[in-house]
Chains A and B, each alone.
Chain A
Amino acid sequence: MSATDFSDQFRTCQTTGLKVHRPAQRLIWINAVSAVVFLLIGGVMAILIALTKWQAIHLLEQDLFYRFVTAHGTNMLVFWIVFFEMAGLIFGSAVVLGSRFPGIAFGWFNWGLMITGAVMVNVMMFTGKADVMFTAYPPLKAHPLFYLGIILFAVGALLYCFQFLYALVIAKKEGWHKGSLPLFTFGLLTAAIIAIWTLLSGAIAFVPTFLWSLPKTIIPDGSFLRINQVDPEFFRIAFWGFGHSAQQINLAATVAIWYLLAHLTTGAKPVNQKMCRIAFVLYLLGINLGSVHHNLVDPGLSATYRIFNTSYLFYAAVIGSLIHAFSLPAAVETAQRSKGLTRGLFEWLTKAPWSHPGFSGFALSFVIFGFLGGVTGVILSVEQLNMVSHNTLRVPGHFHMTVVGGTTLAFMALTYYVIPLVLQRKLIGEKLAVYQTYIFAVGITIVSAGMTFAGIMGAPRRHYDIEMSNAVFQFPYATAIKPMLSLVGIGAIIAATGLFIFIGIAVLSVFFGEKIEPKVEKHVPPHAAGAA
């Protein structure tokens, strides 16, 4: 196919000079909008759950509480995050490389699979046919359509990942781009590879479970498709290859987005590209071994297996993160110092653009993800220490710092750039966006701190009633546990305020913001064979 066929499908971004493939832009739009819809659903669930955890309010009834925890977990951890990441993959390949995105119709088909799956899962959850939590551990059984929905969603996302890889190949082959991938795209590439592993694991976990959940009227006894029992530990291993690796996609994508945000806000350039890229490769090697965190106190596994895997391959992936922990601020510092902010050790930091949502979002999510989420995560995943933390509220405490305070906040900050630059609408309420990042960061830190300390005192996760008032025995928990749980409620109100401000800004801007007229320019592959 001749690459010149696509030359009139491009526009030039007036701010950055990037060449944007306009059909790809619409794919980014639909994925980002879908992401925000599920974020909204998850956000409403979040506040209802948190107000139930707050023992003095104890808002929901038991069954609704468990149903909404399921819906909150699935919508936030899977649908919001993965839809946004798919938007990110298209942005990182086509837009950043100034390339065409191959297979636009295929892209829409993949989105169709994902949205069908996501809607199916949500219908099943909210009609009470899948009160099985995000983890859906068999023998706890949900409606077959719940599993089918997850499989459809995973297949759609998996195809998107392969399409992303194909887009990278096409960009080089047709000459849209030359040389190494930009660091941002490289980071997204590691995220996409982690995603491929994630979604394969998801298929291994959920396909047998789906067959097992089908009634005998559909798959009779004796059929080779009949599965009477899913081994619970097999499911746990396969599921966490999906469930936790899905969060490692966030990690790689978030780090890539930090490099981009640092660059957009302060002009930071990675000091040493080799160091940053090695850190990403270390993620590929080690990070998905860490899925065993969830199985550290499970029966059937040896200490050697546990230690080797929970150490992420001798802490290779942690070393990767620690490299970023230095190289990201170093990039910002170098850029700031070159602007003359050289006094003392920290003038570069105090005079950073803190009133810029891109920078404040980046810096806050960096601190929350690294200082709080990363440290608690590594500690939870020590084989012996997991005994005093497995399935306590410390676990949600940890991943609210990483996924919410880290990834979600970074995604929010990026959205404030994506809306004008890619979706071509002026931001409505730009000033509010600055406050939004701080409100959200403070709220989610309070939530996570409350959860972590309650968990240290033994509060279980996914538990309706710390007073055990309906049980035969009442265990007298430490009195300090209730104030901690009320912190969860208070923090959730603050964080949800920030979240709803974000959704308000995003939705208003995308649908009613002032249109930025596209500058349509012909664009041909600059490095194609035979090109001037």
Chain B
Amino acid sequence: MSDSNDGVSLGQKMMDNIFFLLAIGIAFPGIFYFAWGLLEIFLFNNKQLSDYLIQTGQFGGK
């Protein structure tokens, strides 16, 4: 932005960039907590109880 940035290290520049911070602050929980969580409950653990009962032969399957 301004011309006085010369010699300022990359780490400082990154932490001065509020939009970079905003991006990681939304991306990390958005991906790891929220998106992964939805995959868990809607895709990875999606077996029906009735299918399980048929498989194990309990209570006539239903």
Physical interaction between A and B: yes
- A residues lining the B interface (CB < 8 Å): 165, 168-169, 172, 178-181, 186, 189-190, 193-194, 196-197, 200-201, 204, 231, 233-234, 237-238, 241, 245, 274, 277-278, 281, 284-286, 288-289, 291-292, 295, 299-302, 305, 308-309, 313
Main SS class of interface, B: helix
Minimum C-beta distance from B53 to chain A (A): 17
Separation of A196 and B25 alpha carbons in the complex (Å): 9
| Inter-subunit contact B25/A193 (CB<8 Å) | yes
In the bound complex, do residue A197 and residue B37 qualify as a contact, i.e. CB atoms below 8 Å apart?
no
User: Known: A181-B16, A189-B21, A196-B25. Is A289-B32 also a contact (CB below 8 A)?
Assistant: yes
Contact A197 B26 (CB under 8 A): yes
> Which residues of chain A are within 8 angstroms of B29 by Cβ–Cβ distance?
197, 241, 245, 288-289, 291
Interface residues as binary, B24-47 with A (CB distance below 8 Å gives 1, 0 otherwise): 111011101110111011101100
Cβ–Cβ contact A165 & B36, under 8 A: no
B interface residue count range (under 10 / 10 to 19 / 20 to 34 / 35 or more): 20 to 34
Which residues does B use to contact A, with CB under 8 Å? 1-2, 4, 11-12, 15-16, 18, 21-22, 24-26, 28-30, 32-34, 36-38, 40-42, 44-45
Best-buried of B12, B36, B45 by chain A (most CB within 10 Å): B36
Contacts of A288 in B (CB 8 A): 25, 28-29, 33
Q: Which 10 A-B pairs have the closest CB atoms?
A: A288-B29, A193-B25, A284-B25, A300-B41, A237-B37, A233-B41, A300-B45, A289-B33, A301-B40, A180-B16
Q: What chain A residues lie within 8 Å of B1 (beta carbons)?
A: 172
Contact B18–A165 (Cβ < 8 Å)? yes
Contacts of B21 in A (CB 8 A): 189-190, 193, 281, 284
Q: How far is the CB of B32 from chain A (nearest CB, A)?
A: 5
Contact in complex: B28, A180 (CB < 8 Å): no
- A278–B33 alpha-carbon span in the complex (Å): 22
CB distance from A318 to the nearest CB of B (A): 15
